[in-house]
Structure 1
Amino acid sequence: MAKAPQKIVLAGSRDIPFDRLTLSQSNVRRVKAGVSIGELADDIVRRTLLQSLNVRPILDSEGAETGQFEVPAGGRRFRALELLVKRKRLAKDAPIPCVVKAANDDVLAEEDSYAENTFREPLHPLDQFTGMQAMVDKGEDVEAIAAHFLVTPAVVNQRLRLAKVSPKLRDIYAEDGMTLEQLVAFSVSTDHARQEQVWELLSHSYNKSGQFIRDRLTEDAVRVADKRVRFIGADAYIAAGGSEAMRDLFQPDDGGWLTDPALLDRLVAEKLEAEGEQIGAEGWKWVATAVDMPWGVTNGLRELDGAETPMTAEEAETLEKLQAEADALESDWTDAADVPEEVHARLTELDEEIGSIVDRPKTYDPDDMARAGAFVSIERDGSLRIERGYVRPEDEPVAEVESIDTPDAVNAGTGGDGKADPNAPGSNVVPIAAGSGDDDDEDGEVVKPLPDRLVAELTAWRTLALQDAFAQNPSTAFASVLHAFVLDCFYHASRESCLEVSLRKVTFGFAPAGLRDSAPAKALAERHQRWADRLPNSDKEVWDALLQFDGAEQAALFAHCASIAVNAQQEVVPKYDNGRISKHSVERRIAHSNILARAVGLDLIGAGWRATVPGYFTSVTKPRIIADVAEAKGSKFAEMIDHLKKADMAREAERLLEDSDWLPEPMRTPILPDALAADGDEPGEDAQALPAFLDDDQAIDADDDGDFAVAAE
């Protein structure tokens, strides 16, 4: 019969006066780590010693116990107690609970010291979360908990937020079925049902990252940084019954998210209408309001020339003082290596105050206002954008009506037939819809051609980017317009006028939402405003003003003016001839736009275009999405999403293509055939063949503007 194993006997414990204890040289901890000795001492004061010291008797030369003990394990606790004695918070002979091992124990003192730190298991993160929640439930406040455990209140709030994740998901995390990163991401929302739905979605998705979880939990919410929220203010949203913003406590969230988009949109519409009524009270015939005005909404409308309100003597005096203060600050801190934040803040404040005085409001003739209107929308920073003084063709006095091309976009305040709407003063300009719905296109797997409307929208974006690149390349712009002049001169019948050269500003029949906020649109608008500021108010003074520009300035202005006539949009060709557009004319236009794109080095990715859900994937079928992902990233990535529903597939495709250089076919610039490239017909070479005075790299003599002046005429 097998012999039963001998039962162990634990080392005895007893209280030993502190002045009989000495820190052992066998303690293996040499490097300071974790909580400092002072903080540990403070904790002992609060809750006394929670763990005994491990000690061994000190023997004399003959092997007899001396009554003194060394501490090989528990050195940090010993140092903390020693500090308390020095502070006179602990008596030097206070009894200390100790576990006493034999001096000649078979296990080395160094091994005891090492083992005490090796086999210590820190709390599981989930136990930390639930432990802090239990303290709060029993009345402990967040600041006190933070102080007791030497962390910030923000850390405690993070732990408490994690303790509020769905119990089902916490159990999965406890069993290592989920990473801490994923659990942290789920804490963005407090809706347990939605959290569990997203966890289920992860089982069918290759992407299981924390960011993917956050995106799914917040996809139906609106960021507090959204211009609509800035416009009405988060306080107004909450006062109207909205809940507090949903926050991410673990990474920057720009203020979080609002969870009731319908309420937000209602408040925005109401405030926009109220602002529109105030603008209308100035005497305008109509006011159109919208969160985002469509691209080209002012095309075809005549803009009134308002008179700038003169500056009062008081305003002029204030302006002088502000400018003097700004100049003094800049002078004092120009050479400083480190400028204080308060100085930066004051300079910014001064710039804003100076700008509010320098930007003079305009006044308009009451008779003109009675036939004109204004557009009211929201800027990106949430401020109000007001564009006053636009007259519709149908509102022009009969004697002044001229032939004006009406843009394809719906004019504010008109009915479906283009005539004035009797209810125009309260009308809204509705942005063009982004695309087709959320159907899954389950009836076929064929990759269909892109919808005509989507092609028109994509090429509208490409047109703006091409215009911006075109405006930055004066030599190409000059050659392009010269090409148009040659066509008019040699390939058309003579005209009645001795010279008819005009630029027709491009309008877009179809334009994606937010086009006015795109990078190319902003660059064009800013460039246009810079030139407008330099040109005289009266058209009678323009010729003399142009002669004051040097050759480079004339060329740059020429390029900008030419750029607004660049049209690379692949418009939707009507079924029946409308006398304005045909398939053949569109094809020739696109072919020539590709030549210009190569000449200016058009880079749509660099200009800021990306394939997004609202801007592209919503408007195409599932087979098209799969084909696009396969083309951009490879068939393996396409296979990862081919089982998803349309909405989820679109979101995954956007994420996959986010950092790629992929473009839809209508937005690409075709590469020249090898034969042409071999002959040296590379993009940009035609610019090198231009006359020296048109070369961007050549200095232009400001006095030698004869040839350019002829072209300008």
Structure 2
Amino acid sequence: MTTNAKTETTTQSGTEIFVPLNKLKKSPRNARKTPHSEAHIEALAGSIGAKGMLQNLVIEPEANADGEATGFYLVTIGEGRRLAQLLRVKRKEIRKTENIRCVLDTENDPQEISLDENVTREAMSVPDQVERFRELSERKGWGAEEIAARFGVSAHVVRQRLRLGAVSPKLMQVYRDGDLTLDQLMAFAITEDHARQEQVYESLSYNREPWIIRRDLTKTNIEATDRRAIFVGPEAYAEAGGTIIRDLFTEDQGGFYEDPALLDRLVIERLEGIADEVRQTEGWKWTSVHIDFPHAHGMRRAYPHAVELSEEDTAAAEAAQAQYDALTEQYDSAEELPDDVDQRFGELEAEIERIDALHHAYDADEIARGGVFVVLNHDGTARIDRGFIRAEDQKPEPEDAEDGCTEVEGHRVSADGEIIEDGESGEEGNHVSALDAEDDDAGDDGKPLSDLLIRDLTARRTLGLRLVLGEQPDMALIAVTHALAVQTFYRGVDASCLGIRSTSSTLASHADGIEDTAAAKALTDRHEGWAADMTRDVADLWGFIAGLDHASVMALLAHCASLTVNAVKQPAERKPYAQQTADSLATAVTLDMTAHWLPTVRTYLGRVTKAHILAAVREAVGDEAADRMAGMKKEAMAQAAEQLLAGTGWLPSLLRTTQPAWLRKQPETAPIPDGMPGTEEESFPVAAE
């Protein structure tokens, strides 16, 4: 029997009645004291709006202190639904006097039935939810948002449940049987390949961590954070027919690309497009594209040289800079730039950069003979390296057509570097001795000095230079910088009178992929910047360096010296003092390898023993974490350690830098300089405690 609240005085307990919403109150005897969340009320309001209120409220009449009815009712069961209806009033979906179907209960203890309502119930199992949501999606064509609105859950939860429908029925039954957790089941949903899911499940050991399941399922895929995926982009990959696996249950950072071969092809095609544009606009003889830079190319490289700007470009540069400065001054205090002003700033910056690039250019002859490598950079951008000249395109060295000799400072020099006097043919039996030349007083004014005398005089001059140079440190700095710069930027040219020899060892043979890292790119950019400033003719290099300010000379010296550093330890080498010097250098420059290296499976953890892995975790994270991993297999242990060590700043001993003595000797109360770890340990950075 259903009745209206106005006739309640004759209504028995258990009767269904309709009560205006504004006559319903929260019961003080409701067992739930923790308020409902806003999200839950939102979900209930959506569900009631779509299907109506499927479950009645349970109420009791409110009485005053004298036991008289007030005309209001206390909601014993269904406070969340009452609040949801009030939310619908606020949204003007219903009136505040809307009649709400309730069940009157004046016999049971309100606190007991309220507790019973909240405790004695069981939520639908996940597999059942999956099947029902999937059925609604397929049978009625409802999307995640519509299903979510009708069932009081978020659209994200619905998408997750629908995604679980991609799990193999066999594995779903394993979950029903209690042999898989929900987190493990969700890990399998990263792919829709049932055979692959079942294969990974069968190969799992006792360690069934969700991350291990995801790792094994995506082992042949490419992460969206890979430089190839970043370069191509998800849209172009999808348009080419590629599939991206997305994990709705974790932060997948863009998912996984299923087809590595397709991704590589798209990378090459896009690089070829960039290479064609460079060749057509700049006129290079050839271009070559690669995903990884071909470091063993063996080619000589030419660099651009400084050129004078035309009057037109100079005027354009001055005008653009003037406009930029004026806008900067005008909007210096503005918190946010108007769109048109922001756009104008971008245009002016692009124009200034374009004209600035014109300050350096390649010779037309170098462009006609040289080529360009277009490769994929470490950060997913295209890298364009110009000026490489193949051996067959090199200019032949100038030489005497008859006897292979060259002219150097008025003397004819043979191919092996010997000075050949006039009258010498280089053939045996036709030599004129230096002593004969000195004793010859025939008075031939055009005859050159003898080799013996030349060596005598220049030896004395060398002694004088040594003495004087040692008394002039500033000039010695220029001389040393010149000697290193000659060998750094003019390969094959012996143009320094100092016996300093610069050797730069290639690191690629010691560490795979090292030349494609961010640190290597930064070093290359610095080198190319200096190379562009070098004089075209090595004979002019001394004047260029002597004309630099002191800071620039020091910067050039530092760059040239840095390229000669070799701290590589090789098994057959015994250079304890060299390694000690490398340690001292690292301390002096406060080298922080955490900026350039992370302990990952590829870089370290997969290449050392389990004992080393546990020692690293123990030092960086603690004994408890290490003890939990002790029973793992090597591969799983390395993967787990990578996650634990992330962000700790842990480094193996070979990469640690000893703190400078001045820092170790500071009193405990002394402030630590910015950028230095605040620790009393002997090395930095120190593993997290």
Is TM-score (shorter-chain normalized) higher than 0.5?
Answer: yes
Q: Could you give the per-residue CA deviations for residues 263-296 of structure 1, whole angstroms, max 9, x where no partner exists?
A: 222343455456556666776555443212155x
CA distance in 1, matches of 2:598, 2:290: 25
Q: Could you give the per-residue CA deviations for residues 7-41 of structure 1, whole angstroms, max 9, x where no partner exists?
A: xxx96333346499653754536746446878756
Q: Map residues 300-339 of structure 1 onto 2, 5 A cutoff.
A: 301-305=300-304, 313=312, 323=321, 326-327=324-325, 330-336=328-334
1:613–1:654: 8 Å Cα contact kept in structure 2?
yes
Shift of 1:390: 2.2
Residues 1:158 and 2:160 aligned together: yes
- Aligned to 2:214, what secondary structure does the other structure show? helix
Shift of 1:222: 1.4
Residue in 1 aligned with 2:265? 266
CA distance in 2, matches of 1:63, 1:129: 51
User: Residues 378 and 350 from structure 1, CA distance in 2 versus in 1: closer, same or farther, beyond 3 angstroms?
Assistant: farther
- Aligned to 1:567, what secondary structure does the other structure show? coil
Residue in 2 aligned with 1:421? none
2:133–2:162: 8 Å Cα contact kept in structure 1?
yes
- Aligned to 1:376, what secondary structure does the other structure show? strand
Aligned residue identity for 2:17: D
1:377–1:386: 8 Å Cα contact kept in structure 2?
yes
Residue in 1 aligned with 2:133? 132
Aligned residue identity for 2:396: V
| Structure 2, unpaired ranges of 5+ | 1-11, 400-476, 485-493, 666-689
Q: Could you give the per-residue CA deviations for residues 663-707 of structure 1, whole angstroms, max 9, x where no partner exists?
A: 668x45798xxxxxxxxxx9668xx9xxxxxxxxxxxxxxxxxxx
Q: Could you give the per-residue CA deviations for residues 301-325 of structure 1, whole angstroms, max 9, x where no partner exists?
A: 2415467695794x77876676566
Shift of 1:259: 0.7
- Aligned to 1:399, what secondary structure does the other structure show? coil
1:198–1:213: 8 Å Cα contact kept in structure 2?
yes
Residue in 2 aligned with 1:359? 357
Q: In structure 2, which of residues 360, 368, 372 is the aligned counterpart of residue 374 of structure 1?
A: 372
Aligned residue identity for 1:374: V
CA distance in 2, matches of 1:91, 1:520: 67
Q: Map residues 503-518 of structure 1 onto 2, 5 A cutoff.
A: 503-508=502-507, 510-518=509-517
1:23–1:70: 8 Å Cα contact kept in structure 2?
yes
- Aligned to 2:609, what secondary structure does the other structure show? helix
Shift of 1:377: 1.1
Q: In structure 2, which of residues 578, 595, 598 is the aligned counterpart of residue 610 of structure 1?
A: 598
Shift of 1:551: 4.3
Residue in 1 aligned with 2:228? 228
User: Residues 170 and 608 from structure 1, CA distance in 2 versus in 1: closer, same or farther, beyond 3 angstroms?
Assistant: farther
Residue in 2 aligned with 1:203? 205
User: Residues 280 and 88 from structure 1, CA distance in 2 versus in 1: closer, same or farther, beyond 3 angstroms?
Assistant: closer
Compare relative contact order (CA 8 Å, sep 6+) and give the higher one, 1 or 2. 1
Residue in 2 aligned with 1:256? 255
Q: Map residues 413-492 of structure 1 onto 2, 5 A cutoff.
A: none
Q: Map residues 652-691 of structure 1 onto 2, 5 A cutoff.
A: 654-655=642-643, 667=654
Aligned length: 554
1:629–1:656: 8 Å Cα contact kept in structure 2?
no
Residue in 1 aligned with 2:216? 216
Residue in 1 aligned with 2:187? 185
Q: Could you give the per-residue CA deviations for residues 607-631 of structure 1, whole angstroms, max 9, x where no partner exists?
A: 422344444567x5xxx53343244
Q: Could you give the per-residue CA deviations for residues 393-424 of structure 1, whole angstroms, max 9, x where no partner exists?
A: 564333259xxxxxxxxxxxxxxxxxxxxxxx
Q: Could you give the per-residue CA deviations for residues 501-547 of structure 1, whole angstroms, max 9, x where no partner exists?
A: 34333334614343234343244334445555776777666555545
CA distance in 2, matches of 1:223, 1:148: 36
CA distance in 2, matches of 1:339, 1:200: 59
Shift of 1:654: 4.8
CA distance in 2, matches of 1:510, 1:528: 21
Cα RMSD over matched residues? 5.1
Q: Map residues 509-588 of structure 1 onto 2, 5 A cutoff.
A: 510-529=509-528, 531=530, 543=542, 546=545, 551-570=550-569, 583=573
Shift of 1:125: 4.8
1:24–1:72: 8 Å Cα contact kept in structure 2?
yes
Q: In structure 2, which of residues 55, 75, 80 is the aligned counterpart of residue 51 of structure 1?
A: 55
User: Residues 385 and 360 from structure 1, CA distance in 2 versus in 1: closer, same or farther, beyond 3 angstroms?
Assistant: farther
| Structure 1, unpaired ranges of 5+ | 1-9, 402-477, 486-494, 574-582, 672-681, 689-713
Q: In structure 1, which of residues 596, 601, 613 is the aligned counterpart of residue 585 of structure 2?
A: 596
TM-score by length of 1: 0.62
Residue in 1 aligned with 2:610? 626
User: Residues 589 and 400 from structure 1, CA distance in 2 versus in 1: closer, same or farther, beyond 3 angstroms?
Assistant: farther
User: Residues 336 and 144 from structure 1, CA distance in 2 versus in 1: closer, same or farther, beyond 3 angstroms?
Assistant: same
Residue in 2 aligned with 1:433? none
Shift of 1:599: 4.2
Shift of 1:570: 4.0
User: Residues 382 and 323 from structure 1, CA distance in 2 versus in 1: closer, same or farther, beyond 3 angstroms?
Assistant: farther
CA distance in 1, matches of 2:356, 2:279: 25
Residues 1:73 and 2:77 aligned together: yes
Aligned residue identity for 2:612: D
TM-score by length of 2: 0.64
Q: Map residues 90-129 of structure 1 onto 2, 5 A cutoff.
A: 97-102=101-106, 105=107, 107-119=108-120, 121-129=122-130
Residue in 2 aligned with 1:14? 16
CA distance in 2, matches of 1:39, 1:633: 44
Q: Find the structure with the greater CA-based Rg.
A: 2
Shift of 1:261: 0.9
Aligned residue identity for 2:134: Q
User: Residues 373 and 526 from structure 1, CA distance in 2 versus in 1: closer, same or farther, beyond 3 angstroms?
Assistant: closer
Shift of 1:161: 1.7
CA distance in 2, matches of 1:376, 1:175: 56
Residue in 1 aligned with 2:290? 290
- Aligned to 2:166, what secondary structure does the other structure show? coil
CA distance in 2, matches of 1:553, 1:99: 89
